[in-house]
Amino acid sequence: MTTTPAGSATAVVFPGMAPSNHAAVGGFMATDPHARRRLRGADDVLGYRLLDRFRDDGDRGEYTQLAFFVNCLALADRATDVLGLTADICVGPSFGQLAAAAHTGAVTFEDAVLMVARMARCEERYFSQQHGELVTRFFFRTPSEALRGVLRKREERGQWFDMSCFFGDGFYAITLAASDVMDFDKAVLAAGGVPLYSIRPAIHCRAFGELREHMAGVLHDFTFRPACVPVVSDHDGSVVQDAEAVRKLVLDGYVKPVDWRKVVATLRRRGVRKVWVPGPSNVFDRLARTHFDVVTVAPSVERSSNNPFLTAR
């Protein structure tokens, strides 16, 4: 078995969904040869031109999710072909799990495209019928002890919540009723934190057990295979490679919080020094820079040989 010298391992991190509309990335998708190749493959599977439908889609709509997925893989292709990306281990926090599964060969690209489309529709149906009142609120610069006090008071008042993301360094996300956001923000500010933004529908919440069951039904139609490199769980930092373990990882994202702190701990134990992040600029490339040498591979329409796409350290 080949071993990697201590401190020389590399990882690829496929990011969760980030704002990425047609105006920002449509030019890249239409001109970049790697993106065009991935788009042709997606169009063949879907039976329509994704780029056309993406143009007028919402922030987290089906076509936007598909475009984000396609772009992340296209950027990984470019990084592999042009910059020599190789990875000893892979991470796919949140929505990035599907790109990670495709990149590591746990599912075929064609199947992954269909998964993204069908899971987006399933999610839309689910939230049109229940839990539409919930949002996931992001906030940062919040001391952990002060946050425990804020949450303890919510529990004492009988105000429901669930922690959705632990990013580290005082950065978190919580799922709660939209009507509670104003009071929660006041408590965070009083604790020294800074409220940021909300997303709807909510994500990574233990209340979504029924949604996980629906998604299991969607994935039942698809074959998973062992991943070609280990995949780190974004929930507990465990390392999986077995086919069914990768499937479970995708499903558990609906009901378990993202814990980036545990991902970082695993990568450091594995000797990771360099991290590639293929995708539109997002929270995960910024978080990774605290601990690793990071190469962000982001969409660009610049065609010069000196700058075929944007990179940042």
- Examine the domain organization and report whether 115 and 147 are in the same domain: no
- Examine the domain organization and report whether 41 and 78 are in the same domain: yes
Distance from C-alpha of 288 to C-alpha of 119, rounded to nearest angstrom: 28
At 175, which CATH number?
A: 3.30.70.250
Mean pLDDT of the region 251-274: 97
| Coil, strand or helix at 151 | helix
- Examine the domain organization and report whether 186 and 225 are in the same domain: no
Domain that holds residue 146: 134-200
Lowest mean pLDDT among 213-227, 242-256, 283-297: 283-297
Q: What is the count of structural domains for the chain? A: 2
pLDDT at residue number 6: 56
Domain limit, last residue, from 146, 166, 200: 200
Residue 4 within a domain: no
Distance from C-alpha of 297 to C-alpha of 310, rounded to nearest angstrom: 6
pLDDT in tens, 150-172: 999 999 999 999 999 999 999 99
Residue 247 to residues 26, 78, 217, 233, 306, Cα–Cα distance (Å): 31, 27, 12, 11, 39
Looking at the predicted structure, is the pLDDT value of residue 94 above 90? Answer: yes
- Examine the domain organization and report whether 253 and 189 are in the same domain: no
At 75, which CATH number?
A: 3.40.366.10
Domain limit, last residue, from 185, 200, 215: 200
- Examine the domain organization and report whether 120 and 231 are in the same domain: yes
Mean pLDDT of the region 165-180: 97
